Amino acid sequence: MDPVYLAVIVLSLILGLGSQALIKLVFKKWNKVQISSQYSGAQIARMMLNAYGLSHIPIQRGGKDLTDHYDPRTRAVTLSAAVYDGTTVAAAAIACHECGHAVQHATKYAPGSIRTAIVPVVNIASNVWIFVLFLGIILVQFQLILVAVILYAAVILFQLVTLPVEFNASKRAIAYITTSGYLPPQEHAGAKSVLRAAAFTYVAAALASLLYLLYILGFARR
């Protein structure tokens, strides 16, 4: 096996598994700390959305932990059971983060709009690039390998655009938590820790993808 390829795989696994372990550890820690106001994640999310004039956006109860998201197509916030019902620092932080995405959509936040626009292209590219690459290798066709690189680059572009979107949603979440007063100052640190750990998962994924892209570029050049 190519030692460079092996190194890329190992580093990617370290980044991926490490970031997932970190967010689970941090979430578990702060999901045990109750907030003073005793509001649930769903209640805080409702109040944040109302504060931004988004009372029409529904908040749905989801299932597994860390599956919270805002869907711009249905314009709904979905919170995992632990966040929806939870009255913890972790629940408050994640609920406000997802509401931050809803605010981005409502205010036409540019990076968020770009990410939404390129989703169809990225979905196709992420599913076919590896097959195009293998076909290019088997047929020894540099043009096909180049097409695969371009398709994979589109996937990475999506990940890079995602970074400011996630950072901004966390910034909006912290701003609301700070001004609303639902979490006292001593609980802010916990909320920030949860959001930083969540953001690192996106950074790690982007770094791993960039490493693999560099390897493919080197392979294509050879």
Question: How high is the pLDDT of residue 182?
Answer: 82
Active site residue 166: no
Residue 76 in tokens:
């709904």
Question: How high is the pLDDT of residue 1?
Answer: 64
Given 68, 98, 166, 187, the catalytic residue: 98
DSSP per-residue letters across 139-185: HT-HHHHHHHHHHHHHHHHHHHHHHHHHHHHHHHHHHHHHHH-SS-H
pLDDT (tens digit per residue) in 9-68: 899 999 999 999 999 999 999 999 999 889 999 999 999 999 999 999 999 998 887 789
